[in-house]
Structure 1
Amino acid sequence: MTKEVSIDCENLTKNYASATALAGISFKVSKGEIFGFIGPDGAGKTSLFRILATLLLPDNGTASVEGLDVVKDYRKLRQILGYMPGRFSLYQDLTVAENLQFFAGIFRVNIKENYYLIRDIYEQIAPFANRRAGKLSGGMKQKLALCCALIHKPVVLILDEPTTGVDAVSRHEFWEMLIRLKQEHITILVATPYMDEAVLCDRVALIQHGEIMAIDTPESITRAYPDQLFKIKSNNTLTAIRLMKEFEGILSAEMFGDTVHVSAEKGRINAYAIKEYLSEKGMMVTAVSEADPGIEDCFIHLMKQSGVVKNETIIS
């Protein structure tokens, strides 16, 4: 059964004076789907989202949301969109309650009629209803912004890096909210630099330098990883990376927190050979084991495959 399309982009291009933000990307998002755009800063996520939110004009290509063209039908489109930009954009001098009332007034809705949609979120910030928005913590600001984006019951919700800069608990709570919102048949488009959030999406697009490198379910993307992956823990991560890059048969060696992820051709080497090699070089190796690839491993592999040098920091 073919799913209905909510967002449809064809050959979308956006250039700035000194850079290309979007290099002719095409994708579709199904209705009621949580679709994630995964990539580091500068990948093109914000430019894309601003185009879809009718705040930026594309240079070429077409984009439609719920059958409405983002350029020609921008007035109608703004009535069915909920948009949460990367930076907190509510009125800092208004209280929590005043911000919510203001956005309800813009869309000419009564807070009570759509309160069921934001109840779980708003009850967490209700004790601060009379506090100015600018005085809230990062997590509370995030929840208020989501309430204001939802108060008119949008058909499509666009979230540009909504969890950047907030603590791990708030990130977890925010994604629990998104999963509940999906049950209301709202299409959710979310951008994030956090690779661990990718697995919470129905499908993801891996984007870098304005180009989409892969689109699929998180499971399918990781399953397509072609190499054998090893995880190394040692007394000196940087030295381990340097030595592994000199070891015959190694395709890549990258830092992942306090460990090193090493990829090799399947069947070429094993964990014992890696441990012996590093020990011979005078390193204290705590553990070497085979590992299942994650989204970040796949991202790095695709970047290398496309000839892009990995010089950005990807947060894992």
Structure 2
Amino acid sequence: MNISINNISHNYGAVSALKSVNLTIPDGSLFGVIGPDGSGKTTLFRILATLIVPSEGEISIGDYDVVEDMRALRNQIGYMPGRFSLYLDLTVEENLQFFASIFGTSLEENRSLIDAVYKQIEPFKKRKAGALSGGMKQKLALSCALIHRPELLILDEPTTGVDAVSRREFWDLLDLIQKEGITTVVSTPYMDEAMRCSEVALLFDGELLANDDPKRLTQTAEINLWAVESDEIFKILQDFRKHDNVNWAFSFGEQIHVAVDKSLEEREASKIFDQYNDQIISAKRIEPGIEDLFIDLTEQEVEV
């Protein structure tokens, strides 16, 4: 289902959670909404899932309007909220049967769609949902969201708090779901997951910063970026942030990523790091990743 989001804003009292967001989500895509806590991701998803009415703007999902066609649209949507919301005192099998019955279907009827997911939790089908591990809970929630074969799947931070292996397995499942032609909209605070999406939207403080193929976003980013290694990361980080020709500097594992003035040629930029030879092990220019791009865009927003 194609999704058209036009000038969507939403307020909670005096707080603006979304500010005139415009997006088009192509049919059949695996679309990522990326941003930190408080960026407006959950509010946008709750509007898409017809759970709240936007303060301003319009959203059409296929031929449906999210406000006027709310009840009809709900049959076409599978929604997995950020917080596990299935019945903890029901077993895996009972949860699936319950959600299938709500939509007038059965586990057997749509087994082929959820088979890749269900096979991983089927050995625990008699176990109560509350006794499952974090990764298994997410797979059960995904199965319940898919049980009625929706045309649109909305997943709000489905891998938050899940171990690295389960995160990777979950995204492998999303790749399979996309091949079924289901439009999938997923939010995540993890920048590495953004690279697995066919298209992403970067949100910050309720505003849309960028929207495109994640690889194209990083390839076209105009950031004069350097990776610095040092035994005195904290001290050198503070020094970089005070430098007139440094736009921003943040630690990335054992390195510091430093964005210097875009107008500086490589030789001129390297002179910045020469000033700290006694503290620096190495400094080299690198290509930005999606996290670097996000930091660069948010730093520009803060300056404005």
Q: Provide the C-alpha distance between the structure 2 equivalents of 1:97 and 1:43, rounded to a whole number of angstroms.
A: 36
Q: Provide the C-alpha distance between the structure 2 equivalents of 1:278 and 1:140, rounded to a whole number of angstroms.
A: 49
Q: In structure 2, what is the equivalent of residue 199 of structure 1?
A: 195
Deviations 1:13-42 (A, max 9, x none): 100123101111111111000111100000
Compute the displacement of 1:245 (Å). 2.5
Q: Provide the C-alpha distance between the structure 1 equivalents of 2:268 and 2:98, rounded to a whole number of angstroms.
A: 61
Q: In structure 1, what is the equivalent of residue 158 of structure 2?
A: 162
Q: In structure 1, what is the equivalent of residue 118 of structure 2?
A: 122
Q: Provide the C-alpha distance between the structure 1 equivalents of 2:144 and 2:303, rounded to a whole number of angstroms.
A: 39
Structure 2 SS opposite 1:288? strand
Structure 2 SS opposite 1:40? coil
Counterparts of residues 94-109 of structure 1 (less than 5 Å): 94-109=90-105
Q: In structure 2, what is the equivalent of residue 76 of structure 1?
A: 72
Q: In structure 1, what is the equivalent of residue 11 of structure 2?
A: 15
- Counterpart amino acid of 1:305? Q
Contact in 2 for aligned 1:201/1:218 (Cα 8 Å): yes
Q: Does 1:86 align with 2:82?
A: yes
Q: Provide the C-alpha distance between the structure 2 equivalents of 1:124 and 1:249, rounded to a whole number of angstroms.
A: 52
5+ residue gaps, structure 2: none
Compute the displacement of 1:289 (Å). 1.9
Q: Does 1:292 align with 2:287?
A: yes
Q: In structure 1, what is the equivalent of residue 207 of structure 2?
A: 211
- Counterpart amino acid of 1:277? Q
Q: In structure 1, what is the equivalent of residue 27 of structure 2?
A: 31
Structure 2 SS opposite 1:181? helix
- Counterpart amino acid of 1:307? V
Counterparts of residues 1-316 of structure 1 (less than 5 Å): 6-264=2-260, 265=262, 266-267=264-265, 269=267, 273-280=271-278, 283=279, 285-307=280-302
Compute the displacement of 1:111 (Å). 1.3
Q: Give the TM-score normalised by structure 1.
A: 0.91
5+ residue gaps, structure 1: 310-316
Structure 1 SS opposite 2:88? coil
Q: Percent identity?
A: 48
Structure 1 SS opposite 2:187? strand
- Counterpart amino acid of 1:278? Y
Q: Provide the C-alpha distance between the structure 1 equivalents of 2:100 and 2:302, rounded to a whole number of angstroms.
A: 48
Structure 1 SS opposite 2:148? coil
Compute the displacement of 1:271 (Å). 7.5
Q: What is the count of residue pairs matched by the alignment?
A: 302
Contact in 1 for aligned 2:223/2:288 (Cα 8 Å): no
Contact in 1 for aligned 2:248/2:299 (Cα 8 Å): no
Q: Provide the C-alpha distance between the structure 1 equivalents of 2:65 and 2:204, rounded to a whole number of angstroms.
A: 25
Contact in 1 for aligned 2:46/2:52 (Cα 8 Å): yes
The RMSD of aligned alpha carbons is: 1.6
Q: Provide the C-alpha distance between the structure 2 equivalents of 1:235 and 1:215, rounded to a whole number of angstroms.
A: 37
